[in-house]
Amino acid sequence: MNHYETVFILNPVLSEEQIKETVKKYEDILVSKGAKMISKENWGLKKLAYAIQHKKSGFYHLFEHTAPGDAINDLEVEFRRDERIMRYLTVTLDKHAIAWAEKRRNRNKQTA
Model pLDDT for residues 47-80, shown as the tens digit of each residue: 999 999 999 999 999 999 999 989 999 999 999 9
Tell which wins on pLDDT, 102 or 61. Answer: 61
Secondary-structure class of domain 2-111 per CATH: alpha beta
Alpha helices in 1-112 (DSSP H): 16-32, 69-81, 95-111
Looking at residues 6-17, what average pLDDT do you find? 96
**What residues pair up with 18 in beta bridges, in sequence order?**
none
Give the burial string for 55-82 (b: 16+ CB within 10 Å, else e).
eebbbbbebbbbbeeebbeebbeebeeb
Looking at residues 79-100, what average pLDDT do you find? 94
Looking at residues 82-95, what average pLDDT do you find? 95
Share of the chain above pLDDT 70, in %: 99
Looking at residues 7-34, what average pLDDT do you find? 95
Neighbours of 23 (CB within 10 A): 17
**What residues pair up with 10 in beta bridges, in sequence order?**
59, 85
> Would you say residue 17 has pLDDT above 70?
yes
> Would you say residue 10 has pLDDT above 80?
yes
> Would you say residue 21 has pLDDT above 90?
yes
* Contact residues for 84 (Cβ-Cβ < 8 A; gap 6+): 10, 11, 14, 18, 22
